[in-house]
Structure 1
């Protein structure tokens, strides 16, 4: 008789274990909700790009945005070997 029972349990195991697991999971979820209280939504944090934009806006807040450096001045900070290769030397 035992071999017949074990064969039936082995055959129908997925049909038995799924409802049992579903009931255990539901009871555990509601028990945890009851103990901890209602689930609160996590505080939304800003992404790194949003933090960077905020920081740059704060930096620009006190400065005059119409005063920019000339492109000629910016070229002086580039390596001479790359940009001044085909230019005549400045006097």
Structure 2
């Protein structure tokens, strides 16, 4: 009996698994729509944000005040694990 059942399942696997996968997909889609929040807040375009930020900066207003390109912090000490931090 088992070999006949396994042969039937083997030959008809696509016809059996497709409806099961469709049902699982529909259930998952509906659960996700119930649980998640689909609201996306409005943001200005990135180009507009960049232009506004550049207008607000004092560097563009007075080109004589140019800041030198140098590191202000130790770059290698940013992600130090707790075991290596100084107390």
Answer with 1 or 2: which has the greater Rg: 1
- Normalised by the size of structure 2, how large is the TM-score? 0.48
